[in-house]
Amino acid sequence: MAGVLTPGRHRKCMSRIRSRNTKPSVRNEHLNGALFTLNHLFLENFAVRHAVSYGESGRELNLVAAEDKTEYEKDKLL
């Protein structure tokens, strides 16, 4: 459906609307909430996936990802 009002007239009419629950504002609130949830889930999944580092062979798991590799090698016996 084409817009009936010119962009300037539409802007002036919309500036007079002071209520919060107009269709565009409700849609934006829902979209922002969904994006926040998806972003949180993505970052949580990304952090878990990258916190686990694999050994050189690819078979052994090293779950101590917060420890620096150089510090870990210092503790090894020569």
How do the pLDDT tens digits run along the chain, 78 residues long?
A: 457 888 898 888 888 877 767 777 788 888 888 888 888 777 766 666 655 555 555 555 555 545 555 555 555 555
- What pLDDT does residue 46 have? 67
pTM for the predicted model, two decimal places:
0.33
Domain that holds residue 54: 20-74
- What pLDDT does residue 47 have? 65
Torsion angle in degrees (nearest 10) through CA of 10, 12, 13, 19: 120
Inside any domain, residue 5: no
CB 64 within 8 A of CB 55: no
Inside any domain, residue 2: no
- From residue 21, alpha-carbon distances to 1, 30, 44, 77, 78 in Å are 23, 12, 32, 67, 69
- What pLDDT does residue 1 have? 46
Number of domains in the chain: 1
